Amino acid sequence: MTVAWSTGLDSFLNPQDIGTMFPFDGLTVLFVLIGVALWLGWHAVQIRGESGSYDDAVEMYERISLDRAMFHGGSALIATDEEWQTGRRPAGGHAAPGTPPPGGRTGGGVVPPDEPPSRRERH
């Protein structure tokens, strides 16, 4: 019993007579249409996702102030620190949002005790 519902190609014994070898070779226009739809769809999803991500970021930076955001300098802690997430001072007494760190990220040489945990404290 043979099952040949895609190409009808069920033998390689006469290769000189073989042309296309991929399945469903009569549907190439449909393949292209599917491919173009996937391509354009990717752009739509990507643009929406990226715009939303930047909107969230700008909103977060407004909440905690740009100075403090830059103080972290791209730290991974930004996404996990409670203060960043909520805009409120977490239990433990971190500085209020909007308070720039004394001396900048490294300017003072020592991280003030009421600063959010930084990379230096963790490592």
Partner 1 sequence: MADPVESMEIIFTEFYYWITVVVMFLIHAGFMLYEVGAGRRKNVQHTLLKNLLLIPAVTITFFFFGWWIYSSFVNGPGLTGGLVVDDAKFAEPWSEEMGTNMQDRINGVFWAAFLLFSWTAASIVSGSVIERARVAGFVIIAILIGSVSWIIDAAWGWHPAGWMVQVMGYHDAYASGVIHAIAGGTALGVLVVLGPRIGKFARDGTPRVIPPHNMWMTGIGLFLIFTGFWGFYAACNIPIFDFGSDTGGEAFFTATNIYGMPTTLSAITFNFLMSLAGGLLAGYLISRGNVFWTFSGGLAGIIAASAGNDLYHPIMALVLGALGAGLAFKLHGWVERRFKIDDVVGAVAVHGYAGVFGVIVAGFILWGYPAAAPVEEGRAWFTTPDGWPMINPLGQFLGAIIMFFVLGFIPAFVAAKILDRLNWLRVPAAVEAVGLDAHDEGDVYPYFQDRETEFELIERPEAADFVRENGRPRPGVAERPRPGVTEREEPR
Q: Does 19 bind partner 1 (CB under 8 A)?
A: yes
Please work out the total of residues on this chain that contact partner 1, with binding judged by CB under 8 A.
Answer: 50
Q: Which of 13, 39, 91, 113 binds partner 1 (CB under 8 A)?
A: 39
Task: CB nearer to partner 1: give 58 or 92.
Answer: 58
CB of 105 to partner 1, least distance (A): 5
Q: Return the amino acid letter for 110.
A: V
Taking residue 92's Cβ as centre, other Cβ atoms within 10 Å add up to 10
In the range 43-82, which residues lie near partner 1 by CB under 8 A? 43, 46-47, 50-51, 53-62, 66-67, 69-70, 72-79
Q: Does 41 bind partner 1 (CB under 8 A)?
A: no
- How far is Cα 24 from Cα 5, in angstroms, rounded to an integer? 9
Residue 36, token pair as written in the block = 């173009």
Q: What is the 3-state secondary structure (H, E, C) of 51-74?
A: HHHHHHHHHHHHHHCHHHHHHHCC
Q: Does 86 bind partner 1 (CB under 8 A)?
A: no
- How far is Cα 107 from Cα 115, in angstroms, rounded to an integer? 14
